[in-house]
Amino acid sequence: MSGRLDWAVDGRHWPHHDASRFVDAGGCRWHVQVLDGAPGRPVWWLLHGTGAASHSWRALMDRLAPAVTLVVPDLPGHGFSGPLPRGQASLPGMAQALAGLAQALQLPPTVMLGHSAGAALAARAVLDARLAPAQLVGINAALLPFDGLAGRLFGPMAKLMSRQPWVPWLFAQRAGDASAVQRLVASTGSRLDAEGLALYARLMRSPAHVAGALAMMADWDLATLWRQLPQLSVPLALLVGSHDATVPPTQARRVQLHRPATRLQRLEGLGHLAHEEAPQRVVDALQALGLLAAPAALPDTQRA
């Protein structure tokens, strides 16, 4: 599909532009950002959710970089990464592709931090023995299938839309209206600054990016992931925005009941995009959980 983002144009002012590289691995042409820490520091992989890209971690990266090495990819079909072959954008398919990227970079993860569907992908990679981090962390993690009628309709509807080539173009055309992007972000329970809104608008105006998000949703199998979640072999911690309007905060408690060793940290007043709204509060929560050995300090004027 044409309508892809152009790195020479769209990437010119992309956050952390100088950390970007393009890597062919696992059947995908990846855009990935790597911020190298001192030798021997833990390697944190940051996995964005459906419809987002590496930009969503920009402020958190600034705060984590002094303490860890960071690997931040655009997932297949998202942002500046190319798509996987048709039918391979499932959670297992993406987990396999991630393992290929880790091998190509020679940077296996110590910690995998996933937002929303990125957390599900991280869990799938561990359950499938594709990657072996010491810790998984989810921010407003999407680990449960939708309930009721929505759950029965979600997969078939996503598949239908992903197979209609005109759907991404229509969505991208509507995203040209700035107010439409603002409404979409607001519907998550989060508020973003002008830079954040502009970056999402840039992504949503790309039919190829929209198609990548639809392809991922079409091939989700969260029911299997949910059944297997108690078998997860590594510690799991969840950061939960109390105002998340996309993944109900009550889901985190259900995860904890399903897998009792799961630790929860509540983020009062924050929505689905908590790591973009208040990155320092996310860092503080990670430190409270004992997952960051050293404080990630920024001047007080940049704390949010």
Please, are residues 139 and 274 in contact by the beta-carbon 8 Å criterion? yes
**Model confidence at 154: pLDDT above 60:** no
Q: What is the secondary structure of 157-219 as a DSSP string?
A: HHHHHHT-THHHHHHHHHTTSHHHHHHHHHTTT----HHHHHHHHHHHT-HHHHHHHHHHHHT
pLDDT digits over 256-287, tens only?
999 999 999 999 999 999 999 999 999 999 99
Question: pLDDT tens, 207-224?
Answer: 889 888 888 877 788 999
Q: At what angle are helices 207-218 and 166-174 packed, to 10 degrees? A: 120
Arithmetic mean of pLDDT, 36-59: 94
DSSP 220: -
pLDDT at 146: 66
The whole-number pLDDT of residue 156 equals 47
Domains for the chain: give ranges and CATH numbers. Answer: 17-302 (3.40.50.1820)
pTM (2 d.p.) = 0.90
| 5-21 pLDDT tens trace | 999 999 999 999 999 99
- Residue 195: pLDDT band with limits 50, 70, 90: very high
Backbone angles phi, psi at 252, to 5 degrees: -60, -40
80 or 178, which is more confident? 80
Average pLDDT over residues 188-205: 93
Distance CA 74, CA 32 (A): 6
Q: Are 289 and 237 in contact (CB under 8 A)?
A: yes
Cβ–Cβ < 8 Å for 235, 136: yes
Mean pLDDT of 87-102: 94
**What pLDDT was estimated at residue 266?**
97
